[in-house]
Amino acid sequence: MLSRVAASLYWMGRYLERAENIARLLDVNIQLLIDFGSIDDQGVKEHWVPVLRSVGDEEVFFQHYAKADSASVTEFMTFHRQNPNSVFSCVCAARENARQVRDQISFEMWEVLNEVYLFLQASDAQKVWRDGPGAFYDQVKRYSHLFQGLTDATFSRTEGWDFLQFGKYLERADKTTRILDVKYHILLPRATDVGGAIDTAQWQAVLRSTSALEAYRRFYVTEILPKKVAEFLVLSDSFPRSLRYCLAALNDSLGRIGTGQEGGLDGPERSAAGVEFRQLCDELARLSIDDVIARGLHEFLEMAQAVIGRLASHVYETYMHHPPVDMASEIRFHQQEQQQQQQQRS
Amino acid sequence: MLFDDYATDSFFDEMFSADGTVRPHYRVVADGLNGMEGVEYQQKQEAVEMAFMRGGVTFTVYNDTQGTERIFPFDCVPRVISAEEWEVVERGLIQRITALNLFLHDIYHDQKILKDRVIPAAHVLSAKHFRREFMHFQVPKDIYVHICGTDLIRDHAGRYLVLEDNLRCPSGASYMLENRAAIKRAFPEILRQAGVRPVDDYAQALLSAMQHVAPAGYQGKDHPNVVLLTPGVFNSAYFEHAFLARQMGIPIVEGRDLVVRDFAVYMRTTAGLVPVDVIYRRIDDDFLDPSVFRADSLLGVPGLVNAARAGNVTLANSIGTGVADDKLIYYYVSKMIKYYLGEDAILDSVDTYLASEAKDRTYILENLEKLVVKSANEAGGYGMLMGPWASAAEIEEFRTQIVANPRNFIAQPPISLSRHPTWVGEGGGFEGRHIDLRPYILYGDKISVNPGGLTRVALRKGSLVVNSSQGGGSKDTWVLRQPAGPPTAPSV
């Protein structure tokens, strides 16, 4: 498979997953504010800034807006064109990558990406969003789910599949750890809130932001406890958005990328990034949540993100990215070759 | 009834004879559409446009920072060609491509046609797209033109005429295929009743033609590695490139995906370098290889021409075919047919005056306001003077240019293109609009003409310009299986 194609499939998977995660995050947090009833401007700000931080866009946001409130943050994260992580930008990027590999994906996959793009591009998209953000974000999530279902049903399990899955699970692991990290970070210092109604609502929001609320309830059959939420999202081996599950899926793709072809490159598992990644997978299978908390949940999540990041760079640089050729020297080289040929002939 | 107010005016109308009767081969279409309400037809038209938008059957509009994409306007009334008419068109096209291919081989080898003074040598050697670098170059199986998209028009008497040959990178075949798919959804019953020949095997035939010219051996693989070379996603025809690659199941590559080593072409993959055998290139000669042609081209692949010369990769179409697209050479195609095949041309060309010939030039300069003047190497409706519709200033500008550079101009009488009923919206119903026809011809183990093609329609009232860049749209083209029955009584 062309490296450029592999890269497009990878980014397509990543961006659509990102769009879905952001849509869910916004949806959950808008609803959460409704539950809180009346809170002052400062409270609203304290609510939204961590959301911005969880997607890593706090700085970009304040370049464009003076005040963080529901309208400005959701507008920024949904439609803002200068925000590369807005739902709109992510969908455009996913679709643009799909357009570059139209020949490689099924018509059904392309059609869904094109439809969600047209949905967001439509002149009344902002109105639909203002009239009912819930319905709006639901629609975005549905498109993402439709895409995943159609991919599952129509896309061959060849190399392309592995790059697509690799992008998707990488993004998912990143988002789950960030969402968990931010909430853990802001909640613990305020000892008074721990265990209160707001706290439960916040942890419930964490679960809903990762589509995990119902799965959590079925698994634990108990109330929402911060430690168990962390355990579920970090260590569950069955929930498809937990860190451990995402890493297992990445590991699975990794085993197939770059192998089985004559003259092919080495598989990524032999690289330094691959080795430390495998160690992290092993650790997640071995550790208990108490071990993780003892090491500091925040530190642990940060370490995991760094390991995943290094693996992503390694796989990207090795299999998907060819540095562009230096045209000038390439032209000189072939012109010399031609001259030599002509001299031999004459 | 939808056709009640339809007027053919004084034009040759594809569907209606001058007396208002439906031509026999249009009977099924006319009856089917006439039984429909305006609002019902409008819904069908909108459903088709929506499907194109959803499927991304679009082209990119240049100079638009928003990256706007538009659908290629489509008119649902199909253009129908009878089996008898098609038989002649098909024979004529095969004859023409055979001769043009022989001509290309000849001028890049012995140049007999020039030595025998059938065509003045200067005309060929001065042609912008004549590639001196390509002399004595052996192309596999002596095929230069693997894909051709000839533009045909019909004049006031319904006579088919060749307008242009398009031997370089003709586009539009994807729209032919998408148009048929759209009509299958909109008018399945009319399509079935009419007995229309399918067009769907175009992609398979194209792939076979590519595989036919693969270099021998292709490194011991089961099948040659055929790729489609595109300028990239920002090219206005990118949809078509992706579409055809997908239909053929071959990789679509950009210049930056390819590299030449030891006179062989490789693509850069996740498993390292993989050899390429045949390139269906959708990039013009000038941009193909910056080490031979334009050095500023960022789209091409340095060393590609060398690899082709070494016989390690085949380019389709071959390099240098553009010389036969020169409008000056067009004038000589009938003579070529006579010279190489000993036959009279089956399809006529448009009467053409050459500004390079003293006698013709005098005539052209004296009659500029009555003629259509064309630059020898422009396409897409550009570089043209439509005398009867031009301002005095435009005419004078062309006069100056013709005198300064006569080699670069030809002139033709304006042709009153045939018209076809075309939907102009619920308020207006059907009105006549001018059309042309681009069939697609493939040269593989034999020459075959796809039974259909792209009918382009000038959507602006009175306009003769069918190009998509200038307000043109397209129609599905139906070639009928069976000869039609006797004419019916007027139904209008």
Give the residue from B412, B440, B461 where a domain finishes: B412
Report domain extents, chain A: 1-155, 172-321
Maximal C-alpha separation, chain A: 92
Question: Residue B14 domain-assigned?
Answer: yes
Residue A262: which pLDDT band, with cuts at 50, 70 and 90? very low
Whether residue B492 sits in one domain with residue B355: no
Instruction: State the complex-level ipTM.
Output: 0.76
Q: How far is the C-alpha of A159 from the C-alpha of A168, rounded, in Å?
A: 14
Q: What local confidence, expressed as pLDDT, does residue B489 receive?
A: 46
Q: Smallest Cβ distance to B290: which of A1, A96, A331?
A: A331
The CATH number assigned to the domain holding B386 equals: 3.30.1490.270
Containing A303, the helix (H) or strand (E) segment is: helix A297-315
Give the residue from B365, B383, B412 where a domain finishes: B412
Provide mean pLDDT across the span B14-18.
95
User: Do A103 and B295 count as a contact with CB atoms less than 8 A apart?
Assistant: no
Q: What local confidence, expressed as pLDDT, does residue A187 receive?
A: 44
**Interface with A, mutate which of B50, B270, B279 (most A CBs under 10 A):** B270
Report helix angle B83-107 to B333-341, nearest 10. Answer: 80
Range scoring the smallest mean pLDDT among A277-286, B198-207, B255-264, B382-391: B382-391
- Ramachandran angles phi, psi of B275, nearest 5°: -65, 150
Mean pLDDT, all residues of chain B = 91
Q: What local confidence, expressed as pLDDT, does residue A191 receive?
A: 42
pLDDT at A43 over 90: no
- Give the distance from residue B410's alpha carbon to the nearest chain A alpha carbon, in angstroms: 37
Which 3 state secondary structure label does DSSP give B354?
strand
Q: How far is the C-alpha of A245 from the C-alpha of A238, rounded, in Å?
A: 7
Provide mean pLDDT across the span A146-175.
95
Contact indicator for B215, B221 with CB cutoff of 8 Å: no
Whether residue B424 sits in one domain with residue B378: no
Containing B323, the helix (H) or strand (E) segment is: none
Q: How far is the C-alpha of B441 from the C-alpha of B91, rounded, in Å?
A: 11
Q: Which residue of A has its CA nearest to B241?
A: A103
- In one-letter notation, the amino acid at residue B438 is R
The pLDDT tens digits of the residues spanning B306-341 come to 999 999 999 999 999 999 999 999 999 999 999 999
For residue A316, list chain B residues with Cβ-Cβ distance below 8 A. Answer: none
Whether residue B406 sits in one domain with residue B432: no
Q: How far is the C-alpha of B425 from the C-alpha of B179, rounded, in Å?
A: 19
Mean pLDDT, all residues of chain A = 88
B278 Cβ contact list (under 8 Å, min separation 6):
B210, B211, B213, B214, B224, B225, B226, B227, B313, B314, B316
- Give the distance from residue A87's alpha carbon to the nearest chain B alpha carbon, in angstroms: 17
Whether residue B23 sits in one domain with residue B120: yes
Q: How far is the C-alpha of B95 from the C-alpha of B334, rounded, in Å?
A: 10
User: Do A338 and B290 count as a contact with CB atoms less than 8 A apart?
Assistant: no
Q: Smallest Cβ distance to A3: which of B54, B260, B268?
A: B268
Q: What local confidence, expressed as pLDDT, does residue A322 receive?
A: 79
The pLDDT tens digits of the residues spanning B445-472 come to 999 999 999 999 999 998 888 887 777 8
Q: What local confidence, expressed as pLDDT, does residue B152 receive?
A: 97
The tally of domains found in chain B comes to 2
pLDDT at B219 over 90: no
User: Do A338 and B292 count as a contact with CB atoms less than 8 A apart?
Assistant: yes
- For B51-101, the three-class secondary structure string (H helix, E strand, C coil) is HHHHHCCEEECCCCCCCCEEECCEEEEEEEECHHHHHHHHHHHHHHHHHHH
For residue A319, list chain B residues with Cβ-Cβ distance below 8 A. Answer: 270
For residue A111, list chain B residues with Cβ-Cβ distance below 8 A. Answer: 54-56
Question: Residue B22 domain-assigned?
Answer: yes
Range scoring the smallest mean pLDDT among B74-88, B371-385, B432-446: B371-385
Q: How far is the C-alpha of B99 from the C-alpha of B465, rounded, in Å?
A: 29
Whether residue B471 sits in one domain with residue B355: no
Q: What local confidence, expressed as pLDDT, does residue A197 receive?
A: 62
Contact indicator for B137, B108 with CB cutoff of 8 Å: yes
Provide mean pLDDT across the span A171-190.
76
Whether residue B463 sits in one domain with residue B394: no
Q: Smallest Cβ distance to A103: which of B252, B254, B271?
A: B252
Cα-Cα end-to-end distance for chain B = 9
**Interface with A, mutate which of B257, B261, B266, B269 (most A CBs under 10 A):** B269
Q: How far is the C-alpha of B478 from the C-alpha of B475, rounded, in Å?
A: 9
Residue A92: which pLDDT band, with cuts at 50, 70 and 90? very high
pLDDT at B29 over 60: yes
Nearest to A26 by CA among A84, A89, A79: A79
Contact indicator for B280, B226 with CB cutoff of 8 Å: yes
User: Do B306 and A341 count as a contact with CB atoms less than 8 A apart?
Assistant: yes
Provide mean pLDDT across the span A279-284.
95
Whether residue B123 sits in one domain with residue B54: yes
Domain housing B358: 351-412
For residue A324, list chain B residues with Cβ-Cβ distance below 8 A. Answer: 256
pLDDT at A186 over 80: no
pLDDT at B490 over 60: no
The pLDDT tens digits of the residues spanning B355-370 come to 999 999 999 999 999 9
Starting from the edge strand earliest in sequence, which strands make up the sheet with B472-479, in order?
B74-81, B472-479, B455-458
The B-side interface with A (CB below 8 A) comprises 53-56, 228, 233, 238-239, 242-243, 245-246, 250-254, 256-257, 259-260, 263, 267-273, 289-292, 295, 298, 302-303, 306
Whether residue B155 sits in one domain with residue B125: yes
Question: Residue B41 domain-assigned?
Answer: yes
Residue bearing tokens 């390079």: B356
Provide mean pLDDT across the span B424-445.
94
pLDDT at B492 over 80: no
Alpha-carbon dihedral angle through residues B270, B276, B282, B285, given to the nearest 10 degrees = 120
User: Do A2 and B295 count as a contact with CB atoms less than 8 A apart?
Assistant: no
Residues 280-339, chain A: which have Cβ within 8 Å of B? 319-320, 322, 324-325, 327, 330-331, 333-335, 337-338
Contact indicator for A174, A17 with CB cutoff of 8 Å: no
Cross-strand bridge partners of residue B454: B438
Q: How far is the C-alpha of B404 from the C-alpha of B365, rounded, in Å?
A: 12
Q: What local confidence, expressed as pLDDT, does residue A185 receive?
A: 58
Q: What local confidence, expressed as pLDDT, does residue B484 receive?
A: 62
DSSP A81: T
Whether residue B473 sits in one domain with residue B362: no
Q: Smallest Cβ distance to A327: which of B238, B298, B306?
A: B298
pLDDT at B303 over 60: yes
When comparing pLDDT for A149 and B1, which is higher? A149
User: Do B246 and A103 count as a contact with CB atoms less than 8 A apart?
Assistant: yes
Residue A261: which pLDDT band, with cuts at 50, 70 and 90? very low
Which 3 state secondary structure label does DSSP give B456?
strand
Q: What local confidence, expressed as pLDDT, does residue B485 receive?
A: 58
The pLDDT tens digits of the residues spanning A195-232 come to 556 678 888 888 999 999 999 999 998 888 888 999 99
User: Do A102 and B243 count as a contact with CB atoms less than 8 A apart?
Assistant: yes
- Ramachandran angles phi, psi of B420, nearest 5°: -145, 140
DSSP B215: P
Q: How far is the C-alpha of B144 from the C-alpha of B103, rounded, in Å?
A: 10
Q: How far is the C-alpha of B70 from the C-alpha of B58, rounded, in Å?
A: 5
Q: What local confidence, expressed as pLDDT, does residue A260 receive?
A: 47
pLDDT at B419 over 60: yes
The pLDDT tens digits of the residues spanning A241-257 come to 999 999 999 999 988 88
Which 3 state secondary structure label does DSSP give B194?
helix
pTM of the predicted structure, to 2 decimals: 0.86
